[in-house]
Structure 1
Amino acid sequence: MNNNSKSNNEYWLALRLVPRLATHKKIALVETFGLTALFSFNDKPSVLTSANGLSVKQLCAFYQPNWQQISQIIQDSASCNSELICFDHAYYPQLLKQIYDPPLVIFLQGNPLLLNARQLAVVGSRAASAGGRDTAFLLCQQLAQYSFVITSGLALGIDAAAHRGALSESTGTVAVVATGLDQVYPARHRSLAEQIIKSGGTIISEFVPGTPARAGHFPKRNRLISGLSLGVLVVEAELKSGSLITARCALEQNRDVFAIPSSIENPQAKGCHWLIKQGAKLVEQCADIIDEFAFADKPSLHLKSDEPPLKPVEQGINKGANEINQKGLCNDALLASVGFEITPVDKVVLRSELPVEEVLTRLIMLELSGLVTAVPGGYIRTQSI
């Protein structure tokens, strides 16, 4: 089939399907040679010869893209009323381009204009207390009145309360999900998802239609929640939780982090209290967030080269649970790729020979288990295999 007849979306999907090639390297190839040239038969010899380091499988993905699979993805996307927002699209979120591994293709339902609106991420426990849910609803309602678009993950608990608080106003809300857009997870939030779309909001995913919910997808989703936003507000979170993964992503992306304190007897508050100890801004009312963005010279929780490394998130976690996690991860090839000196993520990818997306996800899991620690410049292994 003549490649010249292919659409821009098809080329981006073809690039997305190139295996085990880091996103930033794919973007660099596009910037150097142009998207179409990478898949043009006439240009391939010179272009791909210049792109040193490509494996046989990667070269095959350029020489013989699976156009049938790509066509099916586009068809499935249309079937679930979603559109493709590719990396060079006018609506592609500019803040997301700043993160280490932005998705080349976003699947979107609803209003694409919200992607570049002023967003604040609000996350927290799925098993949130009634007070936590009420706080999330009220704060998001107030933030929406100040034209903030609330971004969250459509999960139970705090996420749902945040979306509903935003829906009580007219600014719209963005839900970032960890499945294909042909399904809703959890299923009980189908009506909430419909309400988001009907109210002018947006639901997005980097996963193709037909992708089910899997544990490894949620950390990937979390990096997009923070990457889309100016900052992340954690309402309730345990020490070992996806909300703290989102906060960690925010730090790595140079975003502001906010946390709401609670009773010391509340186990759902321990993660928020830990964040506040590390320098997150304590939030008692909406004005605490509004003021932070109104005065850009105020200090915020960012990773800096002269700061000591943050303590592992898992401090204080039940020892028995920690031992179980370690047994399952100690023989991990990825762990062997992290040294006792600062190891950049690129070096971990090179040593482990794993896709960068998988490396980032598994590094977070290793950090939560206390086997590695994130520091400025990369990761350090804290325990021997």
Structure 2
Amino acid sequence: MTTSDWLALSLLPGMGPRRLALLRERQPPWPQGWLALLPASARDALRLWLDHPARSPLQPKVKRALAWEAMHPAHHLLTPAHAAWPELLDELPDPPPVLWAKGDLTSLASPGIAIVGTRRPTREGLGNTVRFATDLVGRGFCVVSGMALGVDGRAHHAALQAGGPSIGVLGCGIDVIYPVRHGELFRRMLDQGGLLLSEHAPNVRANPAFFPRRNRIVTGLSLGVLVVEAAEKSGSLISARLAMEQNREVFTLPGSIHNPQARGCLALLRQGATLVTCVDDILAELGHWGITAPAAPVEKQGAAPLGNDDPLLALLSDSPTPLDSLIDLSGRDFSYCQQRLLELELEGWATQAPGGWVRLPR
């Protein structure tokens, strides 16, 4: 089967990922075997596309998808027929029949670990995210997450900063930047060897209903899921539940009983998640996957640390410094300081706190 065939199947009326997966398991010959198994409306739509594509309403969408793929060498349409198709997704009951991909497909060659968590992490949570993401890519893993604010975004940034691969799964169209604050992260993912994936075609806007569906791909691509911080009703707990249903390992960090952002993690521990304090704890649980990882972190190939060379970073400490004070102390204008502080936050060097900006531990 070709990419066009899978695109047509994904567009058939009444045929979602789960029903297509059930039919695919039966390995019917193409196309007659599929036609024999499809319900009437889907069968008629497929037959029309096969026999008279110019008259089929499926054809314009198929052509637009193929044109998008041909538009740029970094554009890819991943289907079960593609050489880079991640076979771990076939273990899902409802794998996507088509994934829109933008970036470097070699990211799919490394074993993946998902790092997820709250959109409002504590300073300790941000520091732990950076530490685990950095150590994981140093051991040969790819960091997978959902490109959300908070833990997700910090995990992607730390992986790229360490010179490792990272995969971001979107809950919107492959060309849509969401959240808007992550515009710089999107650019870095594409410029520094990362990979963006989505079930959705270009220009499809983000929708709350898409995010739980996105989470199944995040966990499906991964051998295990690390939940850094999560509140009691965090979306990260959906990822953890999906991971358990997919027979993936679930890891979480211990946290204070007084920290609201740790209560979801504590609940996961009661449900049997593995408590971890370092990457070696994760590796110890992955032996059945046949993972062979370096015993010590490899030399990082990413960008050199900023250190105190950055004038704004040098002005930050553990105590919050208001933005207006940073403007006065640095001698730079509001626009520059606001933009640079956002970049430092995305890079994992600083974050906002009550009362101003603080420097994060590294």
Given the two structures, how large is their TM-score scaled by the length of structure 2? Answer: 0.73
CA distance in 2, matches of 1:213, 1:47: 32
Residue in 1 that maps onto 2:307: none
- C-alpha deviations, 1:113-165, integer Å up to 9, x for none? 22242100000001111221111011110111111110001110000111111
Indicate which of 261, 276, 280 corresponds to 2:273: 280
Instruction: State the 4+ residue runs in structure 1 displaced beyond 6 angstroms.
Output: none
Partner of 2:160: 167
- Structure showing greater radius of gyration is 2
Query: 1:39-77: CA deviations, max 9, x gaps?
Result: xxxx5xx863x326x143x23321234101221233345
Contact kept? 1:150, 1:173, Cα under 8 Å? yes
Q: Check whether the contact 1:173–1:201 (CA below 8 A) recurs between aligned residues.
A: yes
Contact 1:94–1:116 (CA under 8 A) maintained in structure 2: no
Q: Cα gap change, 1:296/1:199 in structure 2, threshold over 3 Å: closer, same or farther?
A: closer
Do the aligned partners of residues 68 and 295 (structure 1) sit closer, same or farther apart at CA in structure 2, a change above 3 Å counting? Answer: closer
Aligned sequence identity (%): 36
Secondary structure of the corresponding residue to residue 230 of structure 2: coil
The answer (yes or no) to whether the contact 2:10–2:16 under 8 Å persists in 1 is no
State the Cα distance separating 1:169 from its structure 2 match.
Answer: 1.8
AA at the equivalent of 2:232: L
Deviation for aligned residue 1:22: 4.3
Answering whether residue 242 of structure 2 is matched by residue 249 of structure 1, we say yes
* 1:75 aligned onto 2:67: yes
Report the Cα offset of residue 28 of structure 1: 5.1
**1:51 and 2:37 equivalent?**
yes
Helix, strand or coil for the counterpart of 1:203? strand
1:126 counterpart residue number: 119
Task: For residue 213 of structure 1, give the secondary structure of its aligned residue in structure 2.
Answer: coil
Residues 234 and 258, structure 1, Cα contact 8 Å, conserved in 2: yes
Q: Displacement of 1:175 after TM fit?
A: 0.6
* Aligned equivalent of 1:140: 133
Partner SS for 2:285: helix
C-alpha distance after superposition, 1:217-247 (max 9, x if no partner): 0001000000000000000111112100000
Distance in 2, Cα, partners of 1:263 & 1:180: 38
1:34 aligns with 2:29: yes
TM-score when scaled to structure 1?
0.68
Alignment of 1:19 with 2:3, yes or no, is no
Number of residues of Structure 1 aligned to a counterpart in Structure 2 = 280
- Quick one: which of 222, 234, 242 aligns to 2:227? 234
For residue 171 of structure 1, report the CA deviation from its aligned partner.
2.3
Structure 2: gaps spanning 5 or more residues: 50-57, 291-362
Indicate yes or no: 2:93 matched with 1:96: no
RMSD of Structure 2 on Structure 1 (CA): 2.1
Counterpart residue type for residue 64 of structure 1:
L
Residues 1:191 and 1:296: Cα distance change in structure 2 (over 3 Å): closer
Equivalent in the alignment of 1:107: 100
TM superposition shift of 1:11: 1.3
**1-structure distance, mates of 2:65, 2:115:** 31
Query: Over residues 302-356 of structure 1, what are the superposed CA-to-partner deviations in whole Å (9 max), with x where a residue is unaligned?
Result: xxxxxxxxxxxxxxxxxxxxxxxxxxxxxxxxxxxxxxxxxxxxxxxxxxxxxxx
8 Å contact kept, 2:2–2:81: no
Judged with a 3 Å threshold, the aligned counterparts in structure 2 of structure 1 residues 79 and 126 are, in CA distance, closer, same or farther, namely: farther
Q: Check the 8 A contact 2:21/2:93 in 1, yes or no.
A: no
1:170-203 Cα shifts (integer Å, max 9, x gaps): 2211111111111111111111111112211111
Deviating more after overlay: 103-112 vs 63-72 = 63-72
The residue identity in structure 2 corresponding to 1:233 is L
User: What are the ranges of 5 or more consecutive residues in structure 1 without an aligned counterpart?
Assistant: 1-6, 38-42, 298-385
Is 1:260 equivalent to 2:253 in the alignment? yes
Give the aligned partner of residue 301 of structure 1: none
Mapped contact 1:77–1:209 kept (Cα < 8 A):
no
What amino acid does structure 1 have at the position aligned with 2:79?
C
Q: Cα offset for 1:20? A: 2.1
CA distance in 2 between partners of 1:105 and 1:163 (Å): 23
| Aligned-partner SS, 1:238 | coil
Q: Is the 8 A contact 1:152 1:162 kept in 2?
A: yes
